[in-house]
């Protein structure tokens, strides 16, 4: 058996709860997810995703969707792609 060490972090409670629910649906524990993240950092020699400040348009979109505005839903992928073609 491998020796282990403890990682401690302070995380906003709702974020923790939301993420743990998603991980449970994926069949993963928080420990497994953190271990996978650490392994990816080691393999890639850095953060395994792009970290950027969103541009003004993206920031505006985040803010409006966080308020529940400008959200769209579709009955099928075909309808969604037709709507996206009009953008």
pLDDT per residue as tens, the chain (87 positions) = 678 999 999 999 999 999 999 999 999 999 999 999 999 999 999 999 999 999 999 999 999 999 999 899 999 999 999 999 998
The pLDDT value recorded for residue 44 is 97
Annotated domain spans of the chain = 56-85
CA 9 to chain CA centroid, Å, is 18
Residues whose CB falls within 8 Å of the CB of residue 64, separated by 6 or more in sequence, listed in order? 70
Tell if the pTM clears 0.75, that is, is over it: no
**Closest by Cα among 17, 36, 39 to 28:** 36
Q: Could you give the C-alpha distances from 55 to 19, 52, 60, 84, in angstroms and in order?
A: 26, 9, 9, 20
| Beta-carbon count within 10 A of 61 CB | 14
| Beta-carbon count within 10 A of 28 CB | 15
């Amino acid at each position: 058996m491998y020796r282990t060490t403890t990682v401690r972090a302070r995380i906003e409670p709702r974020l923790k709860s939301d993420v743990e629910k998603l991980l449970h649906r994926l069949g993963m524990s928080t420990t497994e997810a953190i271990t996978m993240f650490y392994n990816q950092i080691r393999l890639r020699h850095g953060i395994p995703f792009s970290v950027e400040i969103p541009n003004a348009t993206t920031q505006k979109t985040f803010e409006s969707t966080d308020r529940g505005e400008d959200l769209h839903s579709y009955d099928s992928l075909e309808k969604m792609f037709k709507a996206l073609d009009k953008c």
